[in-house]
Chain A
Amino acid sequence: MLKSGTILTGMGVGLSSIAAEVFRVKRAASLPKAAKHSGDEKREIASLKTAVSAVSAEMNALAEKAGETSAEIFEALILLLEDEELFETASAQIAQGWNASTAYINAVEEYAEIFEGDATFQERLNDIRDLAKRVAASIAGISLGLDIPTTGRFVIVGEDFSPADTAQFTDAVVGVVTIQGGPTSHTAIICRSKSIPAVVSCQQAKDLVDGMQILVDPVGDRVVVDGQKSDITQALSFVAKSLNPIIPVRANIGSLEDAIAASASASEGVGLFRTELLYLSAKSQPTKQDQADSYAEILKAAPAGPIVVRTIDAGSDKPVPFLDMGHEENPALGVRGYRLIENYRDFIVDQLESLEIAREQSGREVWVMAPMIATYSEAVEFATLARKAGKFKVGIMVETPSIVYQISQLADVLDFISVGTNDLSQYLFAADRMNPALGSMLNPWQPALLRALEQIAIVSQEAGISSGVCGESASDPAFAVVLAGMGFQSVSSSRSQVGIVRQALSSVTKQQATEVFQAALTGLDADQSKSAALAALAAISAK
């Protein structure tokens, strides 16, 4: 039994909180076990066909009830359900003697094997399995309804909810907690669109039972047993106390459209211009002139201030059509980013030379940096190439733990470094970024990451190298304050976050930012670090 006040952590969806009674969903009936048919293949195929149409009609009805956001989801599900290939695979199972429902489930599992382990398809796989269960239930003549109360106020707690489940949510559903599922699960998408407070991926929720009172607190990424309104985590509001932020806030861009949109924001230049998007759709290597033209157009459109351009960051997981990168078992640990120099030196030199032409044409201040630098030698090699190619400030991305230990030796080589926190986390924690099960290790508030970042800020300063952060964490206003407190000299955020990050960095002094960072350092885990930093920020804004 969970004690009053117990905190269960997950991932919050939405900004409002709700306190209500727990309702654990139970499936109405269990499905019959796998079985063979009595020998009449034709009858089994006919009964499968009828069941598929019945479930398809059921989905159509749910789609109408669910409204705009979900209609497309149901349309995609119906197409999967009525997939001819799937039906043929099921027919082959019937020919082997399995009855209609077992055959359909087996057919789905044949496809499941192909998709297993592929994070992108994991959520779809769950949807298809749910459909198979519905087909089996229809054949057996049982209901798979959720049996959700229609009156009262309840927080619905379950493993995860399929689109067909969420369509059955009644007005009595005022909150949702799921044990599985991530921020991109259907449950999360539906709750966001219906403004139902939810916490997903909350493993400890398995201990919640009917009748318990809980507070669903998405802003705090948590559920509190017996929680009250006063336990609600307040969404931070930042009141700018000065005109300028304590460190410049730049924008991340990848295309001309981004550059134009960023100019409309308050960003001071560009802190990360991802160049690979320009090459993704090219079938052959663009000429130097073509590249220079595209770059010049973007440089001219970019917001005033320096523009930090990252040379191509491709690999076998991010392939570029005209660079043959082959297949790798571990693309994140393979030949990617600057490591392409081995086989594609000419391409990287071309890129730098095109940028120099564009720099002259546009008259802008251009900084260039290389991604995935792991050694001193790579940094020196890139700096030499870049300085030979043009009048740039030259830097590197800090993403590998190894280069952190050599920053101090690069004092006379580099003008700046920029930290990519997502990749740095992935390599520091040996946790695949693409694996949703490891999400908590990639939380930027992890104490080990905070300490690694602090070390980077300190050694860069000692070496006289300007330091910035362009990873996703720099788009979180509270985290941006922590980064400034560590000593970083700029941050680069996603376009839509520039305004709020600027506001946060204008609401504190340098000294206060350091205090917020010191508070974050007291945490023993990511949640504690974050809460301590937010508490320190709240105390400052209350002054």
Chain B
Amino acid sequence: MSTTKGSVTVLDPIGLHARPAGQIVKLVKESGLEVRMGMAGQQLAKANSPLRMLALKAKTGQELDVEVDSDDEAVATALIAQIQEFLKG
């Protein structure tokens, strides 16, 4: 299993709030892949819990690192792009 790394930015004017957190977790669960997220340069955590996503307390403009475990790089890249979409508010 290889890992695809990417980064996303919180553009939503109210930060990473409940709705995008829920959308991300739903997407991750549906994909069946292991996805990890966290503040840029810090320890990442599994993106399967909306509460853990909220606990990042990521504000507008915050950059987040994303890692996706998948052998299909195209799928992983598309997933990261979709996460960025959710963070646009």
Contact = CB atoms under 8 A, between A and B. Distances in A.
Interface extent on A, as a size class? 20 to 34
A76 B54 contact: no
A280 B61 contact: yes
Interface string B2-42: 00000001010011011100100110000000000000000
A84 B53 CA distance: 12
Contacts of B61: 280, 318-321
Nearest to B61: A319
Interface in A72-106: 72, 75-76, 79-80, 83-86
A114 interface: yes
Interface string A257-293: 0000000000000000000000011010000000000
A124 B11 contact: no
Interface string A105-142: 00000010011001011001000100000000000000
A58 interface: no
Nearest to B54: A121
Contacts of A86: 49, 51
A76 B55 CA distance: 15
B57 A83 contact: no
Interface string B46-66: 001111101101011111000
B9 A84 contact: no
B22 A75 contact: yes
Contact of B51 (A75, A83, A321): A83
A262 to B, nearest CB: 19
A318 B60 contact: yes
A317 interface: yes
Interface in A45-72: 72
Contacts of A85: 48-49, 51-52
Interface string A409-451: 0000000000000000000000000000000000000000000
Interface in A358-404: none
Contacts of B59: 317, 319
A122 to B, nearest CB: 11
B11 A83 contact: no
For the residues of A in contact with B, the DSSP-based class is helix
Contact of A120 (B15, B55, B63): B15
Given A120-B15, A318-B60, A115 B22 contact: no
A319 B40 CA distance: 14
B50 A80 contact: yes
Given A114-B55, A124-B18, A321-B63, A79 B25 contact: yes
Contact of A319 (B19, B51, B62): B62
A111 B48 CA distance: 16
Interface string A502-537: 000000000000000000000000000000000000
Given A72-B19, A124-B18, A281 B11 contact: yes
A395 B60 CA distance: 28
25 contacts: A76-B50, A79-B26, A80-B51, A83-B49, A83-B51, A84-B48, A84-B49, A85-B49, A85-B52, A86-B49, A86-B51, A111-B51, A115-B55, A121-B17, A121-B54, A121-B57, A124-B18, A280-B60, A317-B59, A319-B60, A319-B61, A319-B62, A320-B61, A321-B61, A321-B63
Interface of B: 9, 11, 14-15, 17-19, 22, 25-26, 48-52, 54-55, 57, 59-63
Given A80-B51, A319-B60, 19 more contacts: A79-B50, A83-B50, A83-B52, A86-B49, A111-B51, A114-B55, A115-B55, A118-B57, A120-B15, A121-B54, A128-B51, A280-B61, A281-B11, A283-B9, A283-B63, A318-B60, A318-B61, A319-B59, A319-B61
Interface of A: 72, 75-76, 79-80, 83-86, 111, 114-115, 118, 120-121, 124, 128, 280-281, 283, 317-321
